[in-house]
Amino acid sequence: MKNTYNLRSIAAKAITQVLEQGQSLSAVIPEIQQRISDKDKALLQELCFGVMRTLPQLEWIISQLMAKPLKGKQRIFHYLIMVGIYQLIYTRIPAHAALAETVNGAINLKRPQLKGLINGVLRQFQRQQQELIERANNHISQYLHPKWLLERIQKAYPHNWQNIVDANNQKPPMWLRVNQLHHTANEYLVLLEEASIEAELDKSHPNAIRLLNPCSVNTLPGFDKGWVTIQDRSAQGCAELLTPCNEESILDLCAAPGGKTTHILEIAPKSKVLAIDIDEQRIKRVNENLQRLKLHAVVKTGDGRLPHEWATGEQFDRILLDAPCSATGVIRRHPDIKWLRRNEDIEQLATLQSEILDAIWPYLKKNGTLVYATCSILPQENSEQIKAFLERHSDAELSSETGTQEKPGTQIIPEITGGDGFFYARLTKQ
Ligand SMILES: C[S@@+](CC[C@H](N)C(=O)[O-])C[C@H]1O[C@@H](n2cnc3c(N)ncnc32)[C@H](O)[C@@H]1O
């Protein structure tokens, strides 16, 4: 049966929501995916994420092809043209199909009169494709990052900033976390082999497996039965570092969508976990993930800065604080971050993180363990944050496995076939 929708116009709409209205792709795309075919889900993802990855190059090319940019209500057609150019440069879709589908997007967006304009711009691009790409490369920064972010990365990593930026511009690998309550990673690898899914084990994380080619979760053996979860290997380090034990009371703060809540429970299924997040919508996903994995936790909405509003006053044996952060370690998974974040957000996030840390510290038992984690690569949110915390709290001690007093924490940078950028610090209360 022929689709009644036009995928290029849907992609242009999603991109408009991100770049003009400040929404994130991860908020916009899941809702759209409910109404399109499985095959189109992958293409929608490729078009939207690809445009975010290469935005400065595509913007520059359009500026050469159109004397006046489309503005106001017509802005969506600017992004439709962008989707067209992206397909011609980066996908194997035959040019005639990419062109026809993109031009027809104007009909779905109820402006058939713009078909001629879109067709004209895309055909002009086709004629000058090589030359325009070469000129774009000379005119724009090949790093495809906003200036403020590039400068922050260069300052923090004067020797390897280029590797970080390269990794940010790649498509991310797909990592699995094998549920150890069902299988070892070795056993699950055999199941993947039987399903003809190529994969390899990870040396540093016991339950992590990397797929050589990303695939749909529905093709993963036992996904519905909770045998496996999609989670980057760096994220798996958080619950491992927390070392939760059965019978302990554990607070998972900033828990949604529950990737680490479920990992804690896979390691210690009889621990008593309280999962808190401020976002009511995202917290629903913690419950869905717990259900799929048949695990149990108490899940509540709450602000980490105001624990007296949701905690009963008891202290916890362990606390995992997976703090809200700039997400600069996961740009390859969320390339829209490059255009949604602002330089001034970093200071605001660092303040929020320190407020949550200070508010929650009294709720940790003596000799208890707190793991602070972010998916950021910026020192302000990471080593500097923990250094300042240690200065404020004389009863906090940094475990030697995560850095030194001078440079607290373990900083992981994103690697092309490796894990995401991440930071962990393990603190104990004296
Ligand atoms: C990095 S994400 C958490 C990911 C989650 N731990 C996981 O593994 O699936 C950070 C979370 O912090 C939440 N958050 C932001 N500000 C918060 C606050 N003041 N109190 C509690 N949660 C907050 C966000 O809603 C977001 O879900």
Pick from 128, 144, 160: which residue ends a domain?
144
On whether both 255 and 131 belong to a single domain, the answer is no
Catalytic amino acids? 375
* 283: confidence class by pLDDT, cuts 50, 70, 90: very high
pLDDT digits (tens, 9 = 90+) for 363-397: 999 999 999 999 999 999 999 999 999 999 999 99
The answer, yes or no, to whether residue 2 has pLDDT greater than 70, is: no
The answer, yes or no, to whether residue 145 has pLDDT greater than 80, is: yes
Would you say residue 345 lies in a domain?
yes
Would you say residue 184 lies in a domain?
no
Sign of CA pseudo-dihedral 280, 282, 284, 290:
negative
pLDDT digits (tens, 9 = 90+) for 110-133: 999 999 999 999 999 999 999 999
Would you say residue 381 lies in a domain?
yes
The residue contributing the CA closest to ligand 1 atom 27 is 256
On whether both 106 and 246 belong to a single domain, the answer is no
On whether both 394 and 246 belong to a single domain, the answer is yes
Residues 32, 37, 40, CA angle at the centre, nearest 5°? 80
On whether both 262 and 402 belong to a single domain, the answer is yes
Reported pTM: 0.95
Question: Is residue 335 lining ligand 1, measured as CB closer than 6 Å?
Answer: no
Question: Is residue 277 lining ligand 1, measured as CB closer than 6 Å?
Answer: yes
Question: Is residue 403 lining ligand 1, measured as CB closer than 6 Å?
Answer: no
How many angstroms is it from 335 CA to the middle of ligand 1? 19
On whether both 139 and 238 belong to a single domain, the answer is no
* 307: confidence class by pLDDT, cuts 50, 70, 90: very high
What CATH number does the domain containing 281 carry?
Answer: 3.40.50.150
The residue contributing the CA closest to ligand 1 atom 11 is 254
Pick from 121, 144, 167: which residue ends a domain?
144
Half-sphere exposure of 285 (CA within 13 A, CB side): 14
What CATH number does the domain containing 127 carry?
Answer: 1.10.940.10
On whether both 107 and 253 belong to a single domain, the answer is no
Atom of ligand 1 nearest to the CA of 325: 1
| Average per-residue pLDDT for the chain | 96
The answer, yes or no, to whether residue 4 has pLDDT greater than 90, is: no
Question: Which pLDDT score, from 0 to 100, does residue 39 have?
Answer: 86
Pick from 126, 144, 162: which residue ends a domain?
144
Question: Which pLDDT score, from 0 to 100, does residue 120 have?
Answer: 98
Would you say residue 294 lies in a domain?
yes
Domain count, the chain: 2
* 282: confidence class by pLDDT, cuts 50, 70, 90: very high
Would you say residue 155 lies in a domain?
no
| Spatial distance between the Cα atoms of 183 and 205, rounded to a whole number of angstroms | 15
On whether both 280 and 411 belong to a single domain, the answer is yes
Is 165 in contact with 412 (CB distance < 8 Å)? no
On whether both 307 and 409 belong to a single domain, the answer is yes
Question: Which pLDDT score, from 0 to 100, does residue 1 have?
Answer: 46
- The range of the structural domain enclosing residue 111 comes to 7-144
On whether both 244 and 129 belong to a single domain, the answer is no
On whether both 250 and 131 belong to a single domain, the answer is no
Sign of CA pseudo-dihedral 205, 374, 425, 300:
negative
How many angstroms is it from 320 CA to the middle of ligand 1? 11
Would you say residue 107 lies in a domain?
yes
Atom of ligand 1 nearest to the CA of 355: 19
Question: Is residue 381 lining ligand 1, measured as CB closer than 6 Å?
Answer: no
On whether both 109 and 247 belong to a single domain, the answer is no
Would you say residue 199 lies in a domain?
no
Would you say residue 176 lies in a domain?
no
On whether both 276 and 407 belong to a single domain, the answer is yes
Question: Is residue 295 lining ligand 1, measured as CB closer than 6 Å?
Answer: no
